[in-house]
Structure 1
Amino acid sequence: MPPEAVLLESRAMRDSVMGRTEVLDKVKALVLLPDGVHATTEGVADYFVVHNEAIKKLTQRHRTELVCNGLQVLRGSDLRLFERDNLSLSKQSYPQGRAHLTLYTRRTILNIAMLLRDSEVARAVRTYLLDVEERGRVGVPRQAESGPTLESLDHRLTHVESSLADIGPVLRDLAPVIGRISVRLDRLDRRVDATNRVVCAMSLRLSDLAEDVRELRYGPRPLPRPHRHPGSRARRRDQG
């Protein structure tokens, strides 16, 4: 089994097992907010049995990596909306009047488990991860012969659920951007339509102007001669 320090020191190693969020529940029950997706700093600290400040400091040191794995900070109207829909429904207590709220997904919490040194729960998660990785490598040929096991299917399902949970906040953040783009495209479409009408009017005006210039240069066009029947000239001679 690879040493535990590999996960603590190597981001590449952490990234390789980031999809195994199911180990969190196998080590200890993870309590999430009513949305079933996020946990607060207080909830993460309770899970790892450490002080809130330990989680805050670790988040500051590894913010870039944690953001890549679902960490987000809510402020302003987003914070008020989230508190109304989630924190008000939670049985846990939270500070009132906060300026911002840090949220963690399962991937973020698993990421913290691979970075947090002074926590027995975090050590258990790392040990479980390494054990699962080793058993997975040894069991690959056997699984290939007998087909996927119930454990592997459960892991895949959990991975899909985790991925969908992480996509939700991204889509929510993209919604206002897509709305603004749609409004701009609608305005651009109206401008193009107005430009086409102007170009059409200018084309007609230029055509009339070209005709006026031709008449000034060559004089008005001669009127077409009336069409006469071939027998009309003979009748005039007979009458004469």
Structure 2
Amino acid sequence: MKFKVLLIGLLLFAMPITQAQEFGFGIRGGLNTYSIGDINSRGGSISSGQPDELFSPVKDMGFQAGAYFVAQFGKLYVRPELNYVSSKNHYDFPQQQANWTTSKIDLPILVGYDIVGPVSVYAGPGFNFFGDTEIDGVQQTSFTTGTPGPDLEKTTFNVNVGVTFKFKYIGIDLRYEMGQGETAEELEDFVRSSYGVNLADLRPYKPNVLSLSIFVDLFRTDTGNIGNFFTGLFKSDKCYCPYNK
């Protein structure tokens, strides 16, 4: 189902591309925070002596980097992107900190509108392809199933909303990604002697991401006849690039 939605989104983008008034591409990069679930330590920790103890994650800064293509139709634009995203958090366990890390390839297809001046808003679906997700100190034992650490779906779907502030060819992008699926609760087995907790439940959560990025247009054209760009690029000294005028 996710791949059908992705295919439909790509087709909707590709069909009107020759009617665009301008198009371009660029690069982007920045920082992010990622929401994950609490950990409930069964039987508490070495330091507390309580029956159970709850540890909430501490958000650390992750990063993302990628590229985008944009097609402009007056005030409306379509912008597909390809990004690499690395995110992390940690839990302050009694003995030492346990880091939580994950990475993914992110493919959002965004539709935006220029509100006024340098400000525009956008929304659109995103498709995530996750790599490994790990928590320090988790061991594979008879109490757990699968690989050590969270067993997340490798392919997920989210919805992106955001706002951009652009000056000439440089801009700032503030974005919120809303995960559409909640993870399942999992039983994890930590190395008690190292971290002070043993069997613990990783509570369900929706993988929401807040990010702040800087983007730069490497190329942009406002030629009325986009087809002539490719021939003009090699047959004359015309750049079709407003930043080199």
Same fold (TM over 0.5): no
TM tier, smaller: under 0.3
Say which one has the larger Rg.
1
| Bigger fraction of residues in strand | 2
TM-score with structure 1 length normalisation?
0.21
Instruction: With a CA cutoff of 8 Å and minimum separation of 6, indicate the structure with the bigger relative contact order.
Output: 1
Higher helix share: 1
